[in-house]
Each structure stands twice: as structure tokens, then as C-alpha cells.
Amino acid sequence: MRRPLSLLAGPALLAVTPAEARLTRIVVEQTQELAASGTAPAYRVLRGHYEGEVDPRSARDRLITDIAHARRQSNGRVGYRATFAIALPLDRSRDSGVLLYDVPNRGNGDVAADAGGAIRVVSGWQGDIAEQPGIQTLDVPTAPGLTGWVLERFTDVPSRSRDIAITGGIGRPTLRPLPVTLDTARAQLFYQIGDTAPRAAVAPRDWRFADCQRVPFPGTPDPRRLCLRDGFEASRAYTLVYRGKDPKVLGIGFAAVRDLNAFLRYATADDVGAPNPIHGRVRWSIITGTSQSGNFVRSLIALGFNAAENGRRVFDGANPNIAARQVPLNIRFGVPGGAARAYEPGSEGSLWWSRYDDRARGRGVSSLLDRCNADRTCPKIIETFGSAEFWGLRMSPGLIGTDARADVPLPANVRRYYFPGVTHGGSYVGGFPPLGERPYPGAPACVMAFNPNPSNDTRRALLAALAAWVKTDTPPPPSRYPTLARGELVPADASAMGWPAIPHAPTPTGKLNVMPDYDFGASFDYVDLSGVLEKQPPTTRGIIPQRVPQVDSDGNETAGVPSVQLLVPVGTYTGWNELAAGYGKGGGCGFVGGFIPFARTEAERRAAGDPRPSLQSRYGDHAGFVARIRAAVAEQVARRWLLPLDGERLIREAEASDVLR
């Protein structure tokens, strides 16, 4: 769970004319006032929608896939409509001058008061999410008459169930394209018992596009459901490929975010005279995104959408957090809700911030910053990620390329910080639980306890550093992440990593999510992750080598910026886990990190045969543990890795913990 970013106060800059933005109309539908709370001042929250348009002839917008075929307005442009929410201080003297735009993840996004006086903004960008209360959505036009291959993959379907909805991605159902025909002979369905196992075809007579919830097979024809005569098996993954029609022009999502933020930063009013609700209050603008939303930030920059219509920079700073790929949005029938699963695009484009020659895949020299370097609109970037991104989301090539031979250097406007030993996004509870964290609702069944090591505390300090870098050009701390040059990145097996022999615990061998080199056909722009996927499922040309961080004798990673919990550990914290049941059993457990607690006493350690020293031998007693926490907090605060208020909270949590009581 994230807390508001605190930013230093500062003056605002008067905005300029509305002609510089592509937003045409903004409508505030709801206003709410938030009383001052803690260090945060009183705030006003505005919610509503906005409308905008893109020009298919524009050099900036014509790279949007299928934009030339989209339904147009009477003026020849392509319109869209999106929701938004804005939170701003009631007292303008509390303004920091910073607009902080946080990209919603799968539509989940709201705004709150900010202790530092930032104006906080969210809006819809994912055009395949159905409109619903409390969700940020974007309505984009279709490109009627166009068709293309659609791939849907289903795992962990309850055994013997015969019917399932056709939805894309994970986390939230999306509106997937309708098939050109319900004739199963013109589509294909196959299953596998593992991602690298052979495909077994399901005969066209044994499945239907149909609803079999009330009527037995072949059911009631339904283009949005899949019915299987003999039922599904939970141990199999099923892949459906069909010809879809009338694709949504999803790439407009990049333009929609650009247009809203350019309007809020620079404009005075929209085309019908409605005022910019934060006119004159923004001097600097920062974009952040986590996981899927962080991938969106990387792609927005790579595709040149950090430049407004008039060429001005939209965002001065950017923080893609726990984002290892680009978002598969600007693709006909893209799956922006995907997560590095089999057959999904996302890792094919540029993954590196400086120019790198992708010889392994034959894609030439490129970088995520090529377009913004050309028009001088690149933001200052702080990239943050943790261990689970190496293990589950294929982070490695972004650091060492697709040949894994050398570290790819960082340009001067990019800092990179690694959170060692954390699950995807870090612990959502934190604290010092000696036995691990409770599983979250809907979590997969993993062998190890869930990882309680947090990353949010460190990220808050780094976001404050990003704000200072943007506002006053104060450099953040030097980058800290694992490298090949220092011998910190090694093959993903227990021996190479130096993994200790912990009794009854799984090992990291076989837990890495491999990275295929997919061939999606000639109509796909691999570098830009844009265009049309001609081959579905794609063919695999090879496997890209990956590396993971080395560990110490406790099994804990040492490179990067450790949390206080890792500096004073109560166990081994991993970015990987083992799946206990279902499809892929015995392999990696999604993006869930694991935890193996230390024995409490030396007697318990010896009885278990655990090579790792006990809590007792490390800290003596509870007071000794708390003293170590105090020392670690003081050091992290002094080095700008931790904000003082977070440090004080960690000490209180250590005092209240059960460690060695």
C-alpha cells in the first residue's frame, strides 16, 4: 500500500494558451473537500471526465496503431473520452508547484492529500476496461473492418468446469474483441502441461464459442465465452487463437495521458471556455507508475509521448517502478493487462535507457530515449525495481542486454536503484513478522511463506530525491544495482548464486521465468512494440540468457539499496517462490517472493541442521535486536535512503515486534 509522496513547497508558473494542448473539453462532475490530516493540508478533490482528439496525419500521433482506420469526427480527427481525478491544496500558499501524475494500474487509481503540497492526478488510459464506478477508464474508437489474430490463455481453470469467460490480461476482466465467426474450424484451441511442453490440439467438434452454464454442451452460442465438451483440467494451460474484428485503437491511451497533463500544465481553458482547474499552479510535472503502469511510463517515453502537440516537455521527471518491460498497448488486439506470461508480447522492444545493439535478436541499435533525445523532451528518470522483477518479469536484459555479456551503461538523466530481496512491489504490510507475511486475497499457493520485506520506505525517499532533482537540480544518490562487472549477476541456479543448503526449503534452480525470443511476424514493429501480430501463437526463435543477483551465506541478496529489514534480517528474503499446486507446480510461483525464517535459538538451529545463525546468536535478545534496528535506521536516513518519519515508524514497529521476546 503506497503512501502520498511528500514534496518541497515552491511557486507556480502561469500557464499559456489552450491551443498548445489536444484536450478539447474538461468536465468536473464531483467536488469533495478533505480536512487537514497529520502533515497533509486540507485538499479539494475534483472528479470528472475530459474529451480530446488526435490527428491521424500528425507526425506525433500517426504511429498509433490503426489510427488511420479509426472512426473520425466531422473535423477529420479521432476523438476519445477519459475519466480523471485531481487533488489540490485548498490553500494555494501550500502548493509545491509540482503536478504528480500516477498512472492507474488496471483502472485502479484515486487521489489523496499530499503532505508536500503536490497536485495529484490520475486518469484513464486503458481502453479495454469497461466503464464502472470508482475505476479510471478510457473510451476509444474502433477501427471498423480490420481483423487480426487474437490469443487468449487460460490457466488454473477449476477441473471439470466446462465454461469460462474470454477475458484478457490479469487482475481485471477486459473487453476482448469479438470473433469474425463462431465456426471453431476457423480457430484453434490447444493445451499444454507446461509452458515448454508440446501442444495438444482440441478438436473443433469438442469446443464452442458458447455459454454452457445453463445449457449442456454445445450450449448457447456466445462470442465472449469458451465451452469445452469434456471440461477443463486445472493442471493444463489452454490457449485459444481466433480471428478478431473491429479492434479498439488502444494506443490512443498514450495520447490521452499526454493531452491531459499538457492541458493541466500549460493551458488556461478548454475549447468551450471551461477553465483549467489548476491553471497557474504547476511549475514541474512528474509521472510515476508501478508494475503494469510502470511499463506504460517506459513506453510513453519511448514512443515520444512526453512531447506535447507544440513540442514542449510534458513531464520533467519519471519513476517507472517494478517495471521490466514495455506495455503491449499500441498493438492491434493488444493485451495491456498482460504480465510476461507465455506468448505475450512486452519484452520485444527496447529495454535499455542508453543505445544498445540487440544483435541476439537482430533488431539493431536503439534505446528507450531515442525519440525524446531527438526533440529534447527527455525527463529525469529514477528507475526502481526489486528481486521479483528479475525472477518473474525478465528484468535482466534491461541491465545486461540480450547477450548477457556486459552491463549496459546508464545515461546522465537516469538513476537506477535496486531493492534487494523483495517480492513484486515489496511487502504490503512491512514491519518485522518473524514467520513471514500472510498471503493476500487471491494469491497463488506457494511453498514458502510470503516475503515480508518492504520497498515502499526506500521508494518514498527516492521519490523525494526525484522531486528535488527536478525542482532544484539536486542530484540524487548515485545509482545502486547489481552488475556483471562486480560479479553480482549470475545464472539462476543454486550453485552459481551461492545458495545455502537450508533443510526442507526449495532452491532457486528452475524458478526463473525464461525469456523467449518470439517471432510475431513481419507486420510487428519489435523495437517500438507496435503494429500487428501476424503469428499467433508466435514461434520461438530461441531463449534469451538472463542473470539474477548473487546471495550471501544467509541466502540474502547484497547488491542495491537494502531495507532496514534486510540490514537486520529475521530470515532469508527471496524474490522467487515455488508453486505448490496447479499449472506449473514446482516452478516459479508467479511474482511472489518467499521467506525462510531463522531459527530462534542456537539449539533450534542445530536440531534443524540450519546453516544460518539463529536470531539469538545474531542479536542476543529483543533489546539487542531493537538496538540494531536503531543503528540501521540512523545510517539509512543519513544516506538519504530513508525519510526520518519512516525511520521513526520502523523503530516503533521493531519495539512492538515479537522478535526474541
Name every residue whose Cβ is closer than 8 Å to that of residue 317 and which is 6 or more positions away in sequence: 284, 285, 286, 287, 379, 380, 381, 382, 466, 467, 469, 470
Strand partners, 48: 28, 84
Q: What is the pLDDT of residues 10-39, one digit of tens each?
A: 333 333 333 334 899 999 999 999 999 888
State the pLDDT at residue 352: 98
* pLDDT computed for residue 6 by the predictor: 34
Residue 297 neighbours by CB under 8 Å, 6+ apart? 103, 287, 288, 289, 318, 319, 320, 323
pLDDT of amino acid 512: 98
Question: What pLDDT is stored for residue 21 in this prediction?
Answer: 42
pLDDT of residue 444: 87
Q: pLDDT digit string (tens) for 563-615?
A: 999 999 999 999 999 999 989 999 999 899 999 999 999 999 999 999 999 99
Backbone angles phi, psi at 508, to 5 degrees: -70, -15
Confidence of residue 3 (pLDDT cuts 50, 70, 90): very low
How far apart (Å, rounded) are the C-alpha atoms in residues 274 and 50? 11
Share of the chain above pLDDT 70, in %: 97
| pLDDT tens digits along 400-447 | 999 999 999 999 999 999 999 999 999 977 888 877 777 777 788 999
Domain spans in the chain, listed from the N-terminal domain onward: 1-141+248-277, 147-245
CA-wise closest residue to 241 among 294, 186, 160, 278: 186
pLDDT score, position 17:
37
User: Which residues, other chains included, contact 204 with Cβ-Cβ below 8 Å and sequence gap of 6+?
Assistant: 184, 185, 187
Q: Mean pLDDT, to the nearest integer, of 268-279?
A: 96
> How much of the chain, in percent, has pLDDT values that exceed 90?
89
- At residue 382, φ and ψ (nearest 5 deg) are -115, 115
Contacts of 435 (CB under 8 A, 6+ apart): 449, 597
What phi, psi does 216 have (nearest 5°)?
-60, 165
Measured N-to-C along each axis, helices 644-656 and 622-638 cross at an angle, to the nearest 10 degrees, of 170
pLDDT, residue 518, reads 98
Which range among 324-338, 421-435, 546-560, 575-589 shows the weakest confidence by mean pLDDT?
421-435
Residue 595 to residue 343: CA distance in whole angstroms: 30
164: enclosing H helix or E strand: strand 163-165
- Does residue 187 register a pLDDT over 50? yes
Helix (H, G, I), strand (E, B) or coil at 397: helix
**With the CA atoms of 301, 293, 402 and 239 taken in that order, what torsion angle do they form, in degrees rounded to the nearest 10?**
-130
The pLDDT value given to residue 563: 98
Pairing of strands 317-321, 380-386: parallel
Radius of gyration from C-alpha coordinates of the chain: 25
Q: Is the dihedral of CA 561, 564, 565, 569 positive or negative?
A: positive
Helix (H/G/I), strand (E/B), else coil: 329: coil
Label residue 387 left, alpha or beta by phi (over 0 means left) and psi (-120 to 50 means alpha): alpha
CB atoms within 10 A of CB 201: 10
- Pick the closest to residue 470 from 53, 7, 66 (CA basis): 7
CB-side exposure of 290: number of CA atoms within 13 Å?
17
| C-beta separation of 337 from 106 below 8 A | yes
**Spatial CA neighbour of 644 closest among 636, 654, 652, 656:** 636
If you average pLDDT over residues 385-401, what whole number do you get?
A: 98
What pLDDT score was predicted for residue 1?
30
Sheet strands (E) in 322-413? 356-357, 365-366, 380-386
Please state, rounded to an integer, the average pLDDT across all residues of the chain.
94
